């Protein structure tokens, strides 16, 4: 059995734009439906959702029939969580709240087997094809992709140091947390935040790494792509569900009823 190829990792390394969707709904049915919508990648979030390794396992099964690449965001930069997702066969991880080079290095070590890292070895996992990928321990890192999130004002100052860590495949900007730490909670569109994001994207690209971002503002997403993001998440499944459902309800309800919607 061959080690599965990580098409997302290759695409961002080659500079091919990857349009993604953020998924906070942990059900396999939703994942299966979304995986066939035409996005290049889907992020399964377990930081700000009820998701966990067991729900992610079902989602991986559900998405396997479709070409969309699957990434997972663990709840934290925790080597135990990272190990569990890797053993499930997750090949792309987006690690939240990485503040400096030391934390980026810790994330990289969590993905690697000794002597380069600290990942524990287990032979009969989904990642190894239940023992059928005989050279998995030697070759796993070839197909693993590590993205770290830059989402605070403090982390902005460390972009170059973080990007220089061996094993980091890309840097992802989190606009909402960045806005909050800059003193503008709930307002990622504030001019100072937008300017900081603009500069961060350019610095990440100058450092030789792919840059990524998530935004619900289509115009801002297109602007980020123009500046240089290579993996760009353009929506969140729960937001799409709620806003479209609300709009449908408004179009059919009588004017006097709309105040309750």
The SS3 call for residue 205 is helix
The token pair that represents 51 in the structure block = 């998701």
**Within a 10 A sphere around the Cβ of 86, how many other Cβ atoms?**
22
Among residues 55, 89, 60, 68, the alpha carbon closest in space to that of 8 is found at 68
Question: C-alpha distances in angstroms, 177 versus 47, 97, 125, 185, 189?
Answer: 13, 9, 35, 8, 12
15 contacts: CB under 8 Å, gap ≥ 6: 210, 230
Helix spans in 112-190 (H): 136-139, 153-156, 159-163, 175-181
Catalytic residue among 7, 48, 109, 239, which? 48
Any catalytic annotation for residue 48? yes
Angle of the 28-35 helix axis to the 53-63 helix axis, nearest 10: 40
Return d(Cα 40, Cα 197) in angstroms, integer: 23
Active site residues per annotation: 48
């Amino acid at each position: 059995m061959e080690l599965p190829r990580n098409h997302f990792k290759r695409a961002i390394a080659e500079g091919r734009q990857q349009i993604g969707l953020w998924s906070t709904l942990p059900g396999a049915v939703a994942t299966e439906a979304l995986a066939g919508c035409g996005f290049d990648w889907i992020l399964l979030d377990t930081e700000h959702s009820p998701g966990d390794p067991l729900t992610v396992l079902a989602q991986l099964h559900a998405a396997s029939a479709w070409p969309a690449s699957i990434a997972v965001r663990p709840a934290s930069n925790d080597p135990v969580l990272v190990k569990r997702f890797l053993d499930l066969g997750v090949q792309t991880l987006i690690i939240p709240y990485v503040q400096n080079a030391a934390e980026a290095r810790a994330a990289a070590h969590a993905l690697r087997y000794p002597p380069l890292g600290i990942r524990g070895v287990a032979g009969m996992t989904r990642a190894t094809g239940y023992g059928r990928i005989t050279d998995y321990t030697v070759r796993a890192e070839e197909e693993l992709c590590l993205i770290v999130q830059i989402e605070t004002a403090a982390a902005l100052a460390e972009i170059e140091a973080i990007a220089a860590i061996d094993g980091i495949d890309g840097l992802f900007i989190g606009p909402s947390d960045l806005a909050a730490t800059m003193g503008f909670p709930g307002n990622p569109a504030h001019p100072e935040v937008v300017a900081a994001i603009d500069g961060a994207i350019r610095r990440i690209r100058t450092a030789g790494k792919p840059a990524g971002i998530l935004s619900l503002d289509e115009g801002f997403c297109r602007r980020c792509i123009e500046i240089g993001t290579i993996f760009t998440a353009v929506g969140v499944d729960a937001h799409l569900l709620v806003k479209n459902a609300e709009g449908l309800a408004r179009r059919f309800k009588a004017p006097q009823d709309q105040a309750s919607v």
